[in-house]
Every structure is written in C-alpha cells, then in structure tokens.
C-alpha cells in the first residue's frame, strides 16, 4: 500500500482479486496449548487489516469494484479459479480448477474443473460461470480494473467451452506458462452465469445490494451492508470447500482515523485491527491483546506524478526523479513513520519475499541510496539552480508541486517534504478524502493534479505492465517510455528471471514513480482469537475463515 492508501484499481488485482491467499490450517500455537477450534462468535474488525490503513467498502462485484478494500470483501464471497499460496504456488485443493494442461508451444491451456464445487443454491460451479467472467471482461474493456493483465483478454485468440467442467484458452502468442497462470488465469474467478441476464448498468445499480449477492460459492455470505458504516458477513452454510468458517459473524466497521481505531481496540468495540504507527507509544495500554507482524504486502509504496500536467514537465527528466530518490533517507523514514516496522525499497518488485529481487535491488536494500550530494549534482546537471529563497528554478519556473494524501497520514509525507526541501524542491501537501483523490486522479482527462502518495499491488508474477506501459489500462500517470515498454513486454515472453531483472534495474535507475519504503503491519487481536497466522498472509492476503474464538461461543 502506498504509505497511506491502496490505489483503487490495484491490489484489487493481485493481492486479493488474484487470490494471494493462505493455506488451510489452524494456528499451531493454539494446538500447543491444548485448544481446539470452536464454531460460533462474532469478530468486529476494519477493512484492510494487514494491508493498509482502512477505508470504506463500496461494492462487492469483483468485475466492477476497483479498490483493495472492495476486492477484499468480494474475495470472501467467491472462490478463485486458482488459489495461490503465500509461497506463490497453486493449491489445487482450494482451487476450482483441478488441472491445467499446457501445449508444447505454450499457447493452448486446457483447464479441467473439480466437480464438487457448488453455489449456495446447490447448483454446480461450471465452465459457464468461468465463461461469464471472461466474456464480461471482454465487454467491460478498460472499465475492468485489470484489463490486459496476464494477457486477459488482449492475448486470447479463442476461449472455448468444451463441456461443463472443461474449457480451452488459446493465446495469440506464446508466453511463459507460469506468468499466464499466476497473472492471467487468476483473474477468471467464476461468477454466477445467471448474471448474464443483467445489463452492465444493472450490475452497477446493484453493486452494494446484499440481495443481488445472495448466491455465492465462497466461505462467506453477505448478511448486511450499511453504506459508510459497516458490512456484515456470515458463514456460507452450503460451502463445498474444505475450510468452512468458524465464526458466526464477521463485521467490518468503516473507521478511518488512527485515533478511532486505537480507541475501538481499547474499548473492545473492535477486536482486530492494525496498530496505527503514530500511536505505537501507547501500545502498552492495550490489555488482553496479542500481536502479529506481517508484511510488507506484495506491492510497493510510491509518490506518483501526473506526466500529462503541463506544470509537471520537470518529471519527464529522469535526472530530476533520480535526484528525489537520492534525497530521501529511507532508513530515517522507516524509524520515524513506521517506528522501525519497514524495509527499504527502490523498485517495482517487493523486497519480501526476495524471490524476484535483482542483485542491484538487493544491494540497495542493504545499503540504501541516500546521497543528497549526488541529488544536488543531478539537479544542477538538469539545469535547475537555487534561487534566493532556496528553491530551484529553470527557465523562469520553480521546482514546486503539490502532493495529495488522505487525512491523518501526514507524518511520513511531512518528513519527505523536509528531505526534498534540502535539495531545493518545494513539495506541498494537500489532505483530501480518499474517494475524492480517486475521482480527481483517474481517467484520461484527469490532468489537474500534480502528485499523489499511493501504492500498487502486484500480480504474483510481477511486472505492473498495466500501470507503466504506454497504453496500460491503469496508467493514470500518463507515463510513457518506449524502452520501458520493450522491457515490460519481454517479461511474459520468456522463462527465467533475466527479463524481470532488466526491467527492475531500469526502473530503479529512472524512477517512473518515486518508490518508498515497504511497510510492515502490527496486527492487534484480542487474546482469545486464534488462527491469525493462517488468516493474515505475510504478503497481504486475508482469509477470515481460519479465525476462531476460544471459550464459549458468543
């Protein structure tokens, strides 16, 4: 997540929509104490635990919602075609797909479904439901937040249903099968084929209507939704998977500011939440809680720029962007903003786990890139000179811009502001409700903003083509580099890590967006709640079906 919020079209895709979930099981510590899971009870929490500071849930249709919070909620209702574990492997037991056969030329993928999966009305989950999802992505086009990710549907030559439990996808060109499965096929979560009778307008009209989402195949069902206040889930009593929920109710309250979250924990109004970093000094006042640290999530935090805004022409010079990178002392930012709960990050590949980190990325994580002297030299080489007020100027323009951020998340940005000021860059801050930030920055005509603190969630096989390619569906920054396009296009085309390393290193050296430290999350949970290890993945997944409450059911 961005230092402060998940981009609404983001992680939607990878961390949750793509199915970065956790393996089935019960917390070993509970067994060591002689405890056994119990059914029943209610847990009240907030959206985005282990992922980001919370925000409201606004809808439940995986094809139409765009925020990580909406996708997290939707993922409780619908079982993925492919369940991807925290180790980036496919768990066949929890997947709707039983088997995938790949042709020798890596262009044809024949998918066989398990026959035991059922919708909550008793009807089987079939290829018709997968086909509905695929056809809707085609119809939605760029309205679908992850359009083109994993080549869906842009690299698909044919989508053929061969029977109720077998389908075949043929691609236009060969790709790395692992890339296609983990980034492309994970988008095809089966949804009720009966929705085909509803227009796109009708789907939007029912985006948050609990009656519309009555038929589900995931572990939970939607019980109630109060816009702007809370959403309540209950167990899907007809769930056909092996990991039925223990809880009677799961409630997500929409609390936004750190003080409300901390007070909710202290008073017992909520039982699980991230400990707000700014309130770390008061953690000793929380009695009867246990802690679990997770993250950073599978994504990256950043300061992004609007390349189409005439006021931001200076960001087209990679020397200016690199100067900003070298001006930020990430180690200090981690200590002050996150109270030590973070890791350095300078590129588009998360540092934890280090599966895809290039040697350059590993070195920078160890040593850092802080070098204000180099930053000043880069700015001078780019023609920016200090004026009498300590702000750099060039051709009558000052090096000044305004960065947007949600309310209550100013501590880190204020520190970054002071660091940039030391090299002559004037960054101003403007707090704004998250939904307003999204409305202001998204869309081809949204060019009246300068910069924004956000984050990007990644597909399991990372490349982020849809944000950094010239015509990416989520390229709201209007960034375009033909060289970056070439490097991005090479990632899915070949096996091995070489293409990822080349893309990663080019990104680090040019900083299309200014990458910021990865954030760990300290989860506070009431001491009688168990299953935290399985419920909260180290990389941002949430599977509350593994949570249970010791003692008497509540």
SS3 at position 14: helix
Tell me how crowded residue 258 is: count the other CB atoms within 10 A of its CB.
Answer: 20
Give tens-digit pLDDT for 110-158: 999 999 999 999 999 999 999 999 999 999 998 898 888 899 999 999 9
| Tokens at 145, concatenated | 């937040």
**For position 21, what pLDDT does the model report?**
37
SS3 at position 301: strand
241: pLDDT strictly greater than 80 = yes
**For position 145, what pLDDT does the model report?**
83
Q: For 29-33, 194-198, 355-359, 462-466, which range has the lowest pLDDT when averaged over its residues?
A: 29-33
- Mean pLDDT across the stretch 19-38? 50
User: What are 338's strand-pairing partners?
Assistant: none
* Class of residue 480 by CB neighbours under 10 A (exposed 0-12, middle 13-18, buried 19+): middle
**For position 33, what pLDDT does the model report?**
55
Give the span between the Cα atoms of 71 and 17, in whole angstroms: 6
**For position 403, what pLDDT does the model report?**
96
Give tens-digit pLDDT for 42-61: 999 999 898 888 889 999 99
Give tens-digit pLDDT for 311-337: 999 999 999 999 999 999 999 999 998
**For position 266, what pLDDT does the model report?**
94
Give the span between the Cα atoms of 289 and 527, in whole angstroms: 5
Cis geometry, peptide bond prior to residue 153 (ω within 30 degrees of 0)? yes
SS3 at position 143: helix
**For position 9, what pLDDT does the model report?**
33
Tell me how crowded residue 453 is: count the other CB atoms within 10 A of its CB.
Answer: 25
**For position 494, what pLDDT does the model report?**
77
Identify each DSSP E strand in 265-314 by its residue range: 272-274, 289-294, 299-305
| Helix residue ranges, H only, 290-426 | 318-327, 330-337, 359-367, 372-381, 411-421
In the chain the domains, ranked by start, together with CATH numbers, are: 299-519 (3.10.105.10)
Give tens-digit pLDDT for 177-189: 999 999 999 999 9
Of 410 and 315, the one with more pLDDT: 315
Give the span between the Cα atoms of 519 and 295, in whole angstroms: 7
| Tokens at 379, concatenated | 């700015």
Tell me how crowded residue 186 is: count the other CB atoms within 10 A of its CB.
Answer: 29
Confidence of residue 10 (pLDDT cuts 50, 70, 90): very low
30: pLDDT strictly greater than 70 = no
501 contacts 358 by C-beta, under 8 angstroms: yes
| Helix residue ranges, H only, 33-123 | 68-75
Give tens-digit pLDDT for 428-479: 999 988 778 877 887 666 778 999 998 887 877 887 888 899 988 788 899 9
Of 552 and 155, the one with more pLDDT: 155
Q: Report the share of the chain in percent with pLDDT over 90.
A: 70
Confidence of residue 3 (pLDDT cuts 50, 70, 90): very low
**For position 445, what pLDDT does the model report?**
64
Tell me how crowded residue 124 is: count the other CB atoms within 10 A of its CB.
Answer: 17
**For position 16, what pLDDT does the model report?**
30
SS3 at position 476: coil
Give tens-digit pLDDT for 292-313: 988 888 889 999 999 999 999 9
**For position 196, what pLDDT does the model report?**
96
**For position 444, what pLDDT does the model report?**
60
């Amino acid at each position: 997540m961005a230092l402060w919020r998940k981009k609404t079209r983001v992680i939607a895709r990878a961390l949750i929509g793509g199915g970065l979930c956790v393996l089935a099981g019960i917390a070993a510590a509970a067994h060591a104490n002689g405890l056994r899971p119990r059914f029943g009870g209610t847990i009240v929490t907030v959206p985005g635990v282990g992922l980001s500071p919370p925000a409201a849930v606004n809808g439940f249709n995986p094809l139409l919602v765009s925020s990580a919070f909406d996708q997290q909620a939707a993922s409780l209702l619908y079982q993925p075609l492919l369940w991807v574990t925290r180790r980036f492997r496919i768990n066949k037991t929890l997947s709707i797909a039983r088997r995938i056969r790949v042709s020798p030329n890596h262009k044809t993928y024949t998918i066989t479904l398990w026959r035991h999966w059922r919708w909550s009305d008793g009807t089987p989950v079939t290829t018709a439901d997968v086909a509905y999802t695929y056809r809707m992505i085609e119809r939605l086009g760029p309205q679908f937040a992850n359009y083109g990710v994993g080549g869906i549907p842009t690299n698909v030559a044919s989508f053929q249903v061969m029977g109720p439990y077998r389908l075949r996808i043929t691609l236009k060109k060969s790709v790395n099968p692992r890339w296609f499965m983990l980034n492309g096929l994970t988008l095809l979560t089966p949804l009720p084929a009966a929705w085909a009778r509803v227009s796109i307008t009708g789907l939007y009209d029912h985006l948050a209507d609990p009656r519309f989402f009555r038929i589900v195949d995931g572990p939970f069902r939607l019980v109630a939704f109060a816009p702007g206040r809370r959403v309540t889930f209950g167990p899907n009593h007809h769930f056909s998977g092996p990991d039925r929920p223990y809880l009677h109710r799961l409630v997500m309250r929409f609390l936004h500011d750190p003080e409300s979250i901390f007070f909710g924990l202290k008073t017992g109004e909520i039982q699980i939440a991230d400990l707000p970093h700014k309130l770390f000094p008061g953690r000793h006042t929380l009695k009867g809680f246990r802690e679990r640290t997770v993250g950073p999530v599978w994504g990256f935090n950043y300061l992004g720029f609007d390349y189409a805004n005439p006021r931001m022409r200076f960001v087209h010079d990679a020397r200016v962007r690199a100067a900003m990178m070298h001006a930020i002392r990430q180690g200090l930012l981690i200590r002050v903003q996150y109270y030590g709960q973070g890791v350095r990050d300078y590129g588009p590949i998360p540092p934890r786990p280090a599966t895809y980190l290039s040697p350059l990325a590993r070195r920078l994580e160890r040593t850092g890139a802080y070098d204000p002297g180099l930053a000043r030299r880069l700015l001078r080489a780019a023609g920016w000179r200090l004026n009498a007020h300590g702000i750099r100027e060039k051709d009558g323009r000052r090096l000044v811009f305004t960065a947007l951020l949600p309310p209550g998340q100013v501590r880190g940005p204020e520190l970054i502001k002071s660091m940039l000021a030391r090299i002559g860059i004037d960054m101003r801050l403007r707090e704004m409700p998250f939904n307003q930030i999204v409305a202001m920055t998204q869309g081809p005509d949204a060019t009246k903003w300068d910069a924004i603190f956000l984050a990007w969630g990644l597909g399991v096989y990372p490349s982020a083509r849809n944000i950094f390619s010239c015509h990416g569906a989520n390229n709201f920054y209007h960034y375009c580099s033909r060289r970056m396009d070439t490097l991005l296009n090479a990632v899915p085309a070949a096996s091995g890590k070489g293409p990822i390393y080349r893309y990663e290193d080019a990104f680090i050296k040019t900083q299309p967006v200014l990458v910021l430290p990865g954030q760990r999350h300290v989860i506070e949970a009431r001491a009688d709640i168990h299953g935290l290890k399985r419920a909260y993945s180290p990389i941002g997944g949430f599977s509350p079906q593994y949570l249970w409450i010791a003692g008497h059911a509540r």
